[in-house]
C-alpha cells in the first residue's frame, strides 16, 4: 500500500464530511509510531496492507512525507494546533 495515498483519501473524506477534520486527523495516527522504524524520522515508500503493516520499499519517500505533512496542516484547525504564520490550511 502506497503511503502517499493517505493524502487523496483524506481529501475525499473531507469532501464528504467537511466538518469532520478530527476523524480525518485520526487517520494519520498510525504514521507517528512509524517515525521510529525503518528510516528514523521519515515515512517509508509502501506498507503491507495487513497488520502489522510492515514497511517496505525505500525507507524515506518524499511524497509519502509530503502528503502526511500536508494532511496534518489541513486537519490542524480542528485540533486547535497552531499553524505557522504564512501557512494556510487547504480548504480553509
CA atoms within 13 A on the CB side of 45: 4
The model carries a pTM of: 0.75
DSSP string, 3-65: GGGHHHHHHHHHHHSTT-HHHHHHTTTTHHHHTTSSSTTS--SEE-SSTT--EES-S--HHHH
**pLDDT for 14:** 94
pLDDT tens track for 30-87: 888 788 787 788 898 888 889 888 888 888 888 989 999 999 988 886 455 555 666 6
* Lowest pLDDT segment from 17-21, 24-28, 46-50, 81-85: 81-85
**pLDDT for 27:** 93
Domain positions in the chain: 3-79
**pLDDT for 71:** 93
Amino acid at each position: 500500500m502506497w503511503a502517499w495515498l493517505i493524502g487523496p483519501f483524506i481529501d475525499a473524506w473531507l469532501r464528504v464530511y467537511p466538518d469532520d477534520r478530527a476523524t480525518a486527523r485520526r487517520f494519520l495516527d498510525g504514521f507517528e509510531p512509524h517515525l521510529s522504524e525503518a528510516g528514523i524520522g521519515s515515512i517509508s515508500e509502501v506498507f503491507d496492507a495487513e497488520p502489522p503493516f510492515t514497511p517496505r520499499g525505500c525507507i524515506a519517500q518524499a511524497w509519502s512525507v509530503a502528503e502526511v505533512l500536508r494532511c496534518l496542516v489541513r486537519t490542524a484547525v480542528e485540533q486547535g494546533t497552531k499553524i505557522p504564520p504564512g501557512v494556510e490550511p487547504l480548504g480553509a
